[in-house]
C-alpha cells in the first residue's frame, strides 16, 4: 500500500508491502510521487524490484571514510584522535552493512556485543560517533537514512570519576618519569589543561610580559587565554629560552598518555588516569579560593555545570571554613 505525505513543501511517497521493508522517496511534484509509488508497487508484485536508493547501495564503511576525510579534520586535535579510533571500531564491526540495513535491531546487537568487552561509557561514545555520521549523511550529503541510534535504549552513563591524587602519589610518578614527562605532569597539575592542549602548546603562544598562555585550539572550538601560575611559568621557562619557537614539550597527545600509563604501572599505582590530573588541578583551583567563573576561564568549560564533574573538594579541607 502506498501513502503520499506532504512534508515541507515536498511530497514523500512510501510503499509498504508484506514481506518487504518500507521504501520511500521525496519528490517536488505530487504526480511524480504517485507515479513512482505505482511503479515500485508493480515491481514488487512481479518480484523485480531492486532498491536503488543511495541508502541501499552505500555501505556504512564508505560513509565512515567520507566522514574521516571531510568532517574529522574540522574537529579539535584530541577529538580527531579519539574519534579516529572509534571510526575504526565501527568500520570493523558494522562497516559491511548498507545504510538502509542499519536498523535498530542491528545497532542494538552492536551495543549488546560491545558491552561484553568494553565499558558502558565507551559504548556510549561509539554510538555518539555513529549517530553523528548518520546525521552527516542526511544534513551534509543529502542521503536519506534512518538514524537508528536515536531509537534504541542507551547504556546507562557511568558515574563521573572522582579520583584525586593521594599523598605521595605524585612523587612516585615523577620518580619514574623522564625529565620532559615530569614537566608535562607538573604543568598539567598547575594549569588543568587538557592533554591535547598541552601537546599542542607552543612557545610563541606564551605572553611572558603578562604571564599568560593563548590556547588557540580547544575542545569547544573557542580559543582562550589563561593566566599562568608561577609554577607553570617556571616550567615553560625551563623548557627553552626566550627566543625558543615551536612545541614546548615536543610530545604528541598519544605519547603523553602512553608514558603516563607506563609510569603508573612502574610506580605501582592503580586506577589513576592522565585525565585525573585535570580533576586534581580543577579542585585545587577551587581550594585556592577562585570563584566558579574564574575557574571556568582557566579550565575552558563552556558550561559551568560541567565543573561539578571535575571538582572534588576534600571534606576535611572545609572543616576550618565551617568553624
Q: What is the pLDDT of residues 188-207, one digit of tens each?
A: 999 999 998 999 999 999 99
Residue 154 has pLDDT above 90, yes or no: yes
pLDDT band at 7 (very low <50, low <70, confident <90, very high): confident
What is the predicted pLDDT for the residue at 16? 81
Per-residue pLDDT at 201:
92
The residue-averaged pLDDT of 97-103 equals 88
Using DSSP's 3-state secondary structure scheme, residue 289 falls into coil
Range of the domain at 37: 2-50
Q: Residue 160: inside a domain, yes or no?
A: no
Residues 305 and 176 in one domain: yes
Residues 8-40: tens digit of each pLDDT: 788 888 888 766 667 787 888 989 889 988 888
Q: What is the DSSP letter of 117?
A: T
Q: What local confidence, expressed as pLDDT, does residue 136 receive? A: 94
131 and 264 share one domain: no
Instruction: Summarize the confidence of residues 298-314 as an average pLDDT.
Output: 71
Whether residues 134 and 188 fall in one domain: no
Contact between 168 and 267 (Cβ < 8 Å): no
For the record, the C-alpha cell of 72 comes out as 574529522
Do 215 and 95 share a structural domain? Answer: no
Whether the predicted pLDDT of 167 surpasses 80: yes
Element (H, E) at 310: helix 307-310
Position 161 in a domain? no
Same domain, 180 and 278: yes
Percent of the chain topping pLDDT 90: 44
Q: Tens of pLDDT along 35-78?
A: 988 888 888 888 776 666 677 778 999 999 999 999 999 887 77
Residues 192 and 313 in one domain: yes
Rounded Cα distance between 259 and 188, Å, is 14
Q: How far is CA 65 from CA 53, 100, 103, in A?
A: 20, 17, 20
pLDDT at 1 over 90: no
With a pLDDT cut of 70, the percent of the chain lying above it is 91
pLDDT at 14: 86
Active site residues: 194, 219, 275, 278, 301, 310
> What is the pLDDT, as a whole number, of residue 317?
59
Whether residue 159 is contained in a domain is answered as no
Number of H-type helices and E-type strands within the chain:
15, 6
Please give the pLDDT value at position 312: 56
The answer to whether position 176 is within a domain reads yes
Structural domain count, the chain: 3
Amino acid at each position: 500500500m502506498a501513502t503520499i505525505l506532504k512534508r515541507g513543501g515536498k511530497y514523500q511517497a512510501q510503499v509498504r508491502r508484506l514481506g518487504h521493508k518500507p521504501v520511500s522517496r521525496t519528490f517536488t511534484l505530487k504526480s511524480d510521487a504517485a507515479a513512482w509509488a505505482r511503479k515500485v508497487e508493480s515491481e514488487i508484485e512481479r518480484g523485480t524490484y531492486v532498491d536503488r536508493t543511495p541508502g541501499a547501495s552505500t555501505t556504512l564503511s564508505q560513509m565512515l571514510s567520507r566522514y574521516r576525510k571531510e568532517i574529522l579534520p574540522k574537529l579539535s586535535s584530541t577529538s580527531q584522535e579519539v574519534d579516529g579510533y572509534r571510526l575504526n571500531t565501527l568500520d570493523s564491526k558494522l562497516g559491511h552493512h548498507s545504510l538502509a540495513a542499519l536498523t535498530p535491531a542491528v545497532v542494538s546487537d552492536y551495543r549488546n556485543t560491545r558491552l561484553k568487552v568494553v565499558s558502558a561509557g565507551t559504548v556510549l561514545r561509539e554510538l555518539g560517533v555513529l549517530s553523528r555520521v548518520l546525521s552527516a549523511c542526511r544534513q551534509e550529503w543529502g542521503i536519506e537514512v534512518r538514524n537508528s541510534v536515536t531509537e534504541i535504549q542507551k547504556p546507562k552513563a557511568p558515574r563521573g570519576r572522582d579520583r584525586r591524587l593521594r599523598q605521595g602519589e605524585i612523587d612516585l610518578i615523577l620518580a619514574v618519569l623522564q625529565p620532559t614527562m615530569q614537566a608535562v605532569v607538573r604543568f598539567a597539575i598547575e594549569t588543568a589543561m587538557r592533554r591535547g592542549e598541552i601537546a599542542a602548546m607552543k612557545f610563541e603562544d606564551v605572553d611572558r610580559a603578562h604571564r599568560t598562555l593563548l590556547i588557540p585550539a580547544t575542545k569547544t572550538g573557542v580559543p582562550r587565554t589563561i593566566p599562568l601560575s608561577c609554577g607553570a611559568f617556571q616550567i615553560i621557562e625551563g623548557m627553552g629560552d626566550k627566543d625558543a619557537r615551536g612545541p614546548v614539550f615536543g610530545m604528541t597527545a598519544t605519547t603523553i598518555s602512553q608514558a603516563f600509563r607506563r609510569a603508573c604501572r612502574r610506580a605501582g599505582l592503580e586506577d589513576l588516569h592522565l585525565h585525573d590530573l585535570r580533576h586534581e588541578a580543577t579542585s585545587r583551583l577551587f581550594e585556592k579560593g577562585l570563584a566558579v567563573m574564574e575557574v571556568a576561564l582557566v579550565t575552558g568549560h563552556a558550561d559551568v555545570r560541567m565543573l561539578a564533574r571535575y571538582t572534588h573538594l576534600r571534606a576535611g579541607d572545609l572543616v576550618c571554613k565551617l568553624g
